[in-house]
Amino acid sequence: MIDPQLRNRRRLAAPFALLIAVAIAAAACGSSSVASPQSLTGGVLSNAGANANPTTVPANLPLASATPAPAQSTLPNTDSAADALALQSSMVAIIKQLTPSVVVIETNSGLGSGVIYDTAGHIVTNAHVVGTSKTFKVTLSNGKSYSGTLVGSFAADDIAVIKITAPGLTPAVFGDSGALSVGDFVLAMGNPLGLQSSVTEGIVSALNRQVSEPTGNSLPDVIQTSAAINPGNSGGALVDLKGEVVGIPTLAATDPQIGGSAPGIGFAISSNRARTIADQLIASGHVTSSGRAYLGVQLMDTNNGVGVYSVAAGSPAQKGGLKAGDLILSINGEATATTSDLAQILVKLQPGNAAKLEVQHSDGTKATLNVTLGQLPG
């Protein structure tokens, strides 16, 4: 019979041995060029360029000493082992607590995840999960399925609410995402690739990111996480170690140079923003106080910059003198070469802010327009 303490030591020794192996592998890879930094461009991470001076392992490495150094124990002390087991137990308990609150949402075009918001049957998810659908199949963690209907959707923040009628629902607790710090442990819970009730773990990698979705829609104050987010995770729960939902996993970064997603870089809409939007959708089916700046134009990319396709009647843009056929060259001194650039600038501004637009009219003349931004309707 194996002594229980010996068994625990063997289990704990394995990760430390792995760390040593990783360190050796990293040293062996020193002859390769240093990984280039990542830059956020239009919400998609891309390589910013290879390092021109790769780090190499020197050829004249010193010989090993004839007298070996004393072996260092890789076993953690008892307190460290206890802390690790306590963290594991906490994570297991959180997963058991939250699993009944995370659902599968199916539409005619695919599936995603959702989080039960209240006992009345409201479920928060991503707007891109519901798409144009009005009815849904919702499957709980216990395998029971119910018909769902759309309550409301706000594409600008990629948040939607649907509703089911079912007994004994377990709502999740939505925490304060404003209290998060970089380095906090988080769990991503959802249904990636249709694998129901899957969980990945990571940390909060960054806060208050502004990222763009494939549609060109820009999202403000997004949480960046190293927890894996895959197709089907959208609309699920990003959970902290208190067992509270702090974000809605929404998209993963992609690298256009290598193709596919960039490992370890995912994004979640903050719980505070999700609650603000969800509460309004539940109350009226619409968003009346988005907190998002509004210009009131339809735009298109052209060879010469951002073209104004149309201007909404009574919009801030119309009041400021912007017309269809104009090119927007910059806002507040920041160049707007693409519609994505313009969206990234607007997402940092607030309703009521003054914006100085440098424009070029269809006759080639240039002008500076002063526009007071409105509030994005929903």
Residues labelled catalytic: 128, 158, 234
Q: Which residues contact 187 (CB under 8 A, 6 or more apart)?
A: 91, 94, 95, 98, 199, 200, 201, 227, 237, 238, 239
Distance from C-alpha of 370 to C-alpha of 346, rounded to nearest angstrom: 14
| Whether the Cβ atoms of residue 267 and residue 346 lie closer than 8 Å to each other | no
| Whether the Cβ atoms of residue 234 and residue 190 lie closer than 8 Å to each other | yes
The residues facing 368 across adjacent strands are 358
